[in-house]
Amino acid sequence: MTADEETTGPGSHGAESADVERARVQRRTLTVVVISQVLGGAGLAAGVTVGALLAQQMLGSEGLAGVPTALFTLGSALTAYLIGRVTQRAGRRLGLGLGFAAGGLGAVGVVLAAASGSVPLLLVSLFVYGAGTATNLQARYAGTDLAAPTRRATAVSIAMVSTTVGAVAGPNLVEPLGAFAVGLGLPALSGPFLLAAVAYLAAGTVLLLLLRPDPFLLARRLAPAEAAARGVGGRSARAAGPAPRPGTGAYVGAAIMVLTQIAMVAIMTMTPVHMRAHHHDFGDIGLVIGIHIGAMYLPSLVTGVLVDRIGRTPMAIAAGVTLLAAGVTAALAPGDDMLLLIVALALLGLGWNFGLISGTALVVDSTVPANRARVQGTLDVLIALAGAGAGVMSSVVMAGTSYAVLSLAGGVLALLLIPVLLWARSKNRMP
């Protein structure tokens, strides 16, 4: 038994005592997650805003501008897998804390690579930097471990909306951070990664020190007593025998998140390159990406309530429709039209938000503590790999065709989730 398990909750004092303990720790957990997500949001904004531009500058090719997104998304995939395994064994605190620490070290490496002009160091560091992205997303699950079933999407939304503060501030600090970096004798584009290093390391420290008692370990400890109170029996998550398989909803939720991730990453990655080609400055790019990231996270409180009240399937369908609208708007927007680009990227973020929260809720609904963290980590690997592929292919597609073709393709692809949802619902496997 771990120290966290020994000090968290009664486990055998009955359903009423378990409910009191669950509610107390849930409030504390959400507070700590909110603090870490504010910091984590600032960290992830660096790669989104200037990663492609830094690669284009150091690699000397627009066709390779999608490499950073691919690398830190591959790093995100590996980290998601590892966090899932570590969390299943040792809890959220250790898994998330180490993930953010790795992301911070990766950001430091990017700064050193930019300063020295070392392409190999840049590529390795971007891969490690991706750990922060995975951890930032995995943190949303920490808010659901102790949430009531009818409040799971809302709990996800609280974790996600907290990311908004840092994520929106980050892109809009590109110019002052660039000036700060230049003052230190560093390339301007390394400035946002300085912020990322500090933000990710701070987020990891907060989680390691304050996420006590661990919500996942407590949920696993309380599960047998709660199952018995419901009259369905129950056994310890550590009892002999294999963990149960996740329900169908977990796979459907994964499909929703994968498709929305591909559409969002493909269009988002090439937007800064597209804007630079039309002579927009870093301030304009920071504004557009800042609004995009705000739309990814800020609507979460409303989205979470809608997913809990209206249902997972209707909100996932709304994600596909919204992403299609984003792709069409981006494709039709003239390169020098800031307003339409802002609208397109805002819709892109909103559609992703709908898909991530509805998909996450389905995954949590379809798992139990005995398999939840492992399944969540594995599914987030698929999401990260999808983003990596989208990052690479977006630069290839844009170099071979145009930003308009890329945007339309992303929007149409997102609609594929609708047949999956309708099939699942026809089988009575979806809420």
Given a cut of 90, whether residue 205 has pLDDT beyond it is yes
- Six-digit token string for 8: 């968290």
Q: Are residues 249 and 365 in contact, defined by beta-carbon separation less than 8 angstroms?
A: yes
∠ CA 186-191-197, nearest 5°, is 110
Nearest to 299 by CA among 168, 415, 134, 164: 164
Q: Are residues 294 and 371 in contact, defined by beta-carbon separation less than 8 angstroms?
A: no
pLDDT in tens, 377-410: 998 888 888 887 888 788 889 888 999 999 999 9
pLDDT in tens, 154-197: 988 888 888 777 776 776 777 788 889 899 999 888 888 998 89
> Which amino acid is residue 267, in one-letter code?
I
Give the pLDDT confidence score for residue 11 in this predicted structure. 41
Q: How many residues does the chain have?
A: 431
| DSSP state string for 204-221 | HHHHHHH--S-HHHHHHH
pLDDT in tens, 264-318: 999 998 898 889 888 888 788 888 988 898 898 889 889 999 999 999 999 999 9
d(CA 238, CA 248) in angstroms, rounded, equals: 24
pTM of the predicted model, to two decimals? 0.76
- Six-digit token string for 152: 């799971």
Mean pLDDT of the chain: 84
Other Cβ atoms within 10 Å of 355 Cβ, number = 31
Give the pLDDT confidence score for residue 14 in this predicted structure. 52
3-state SS class at 13: coil
> Which amino acid is residue 358, in one-letter code?
S
Nearest to 5 by CA among 321, 221, 157: 221
Give the pLDDT confidence score for residue 8 in this predicted structure. 47
The domain ranges of the chain are 3-426
pLDDT in tens, 15-26: 566 677 788 889
- Which band of pLDDT confidence, cut at 50, 70 and 90, is reported for residue 349? very high
Q: What's the CATH code, domain 3-426?
A: 1.20.1250.20
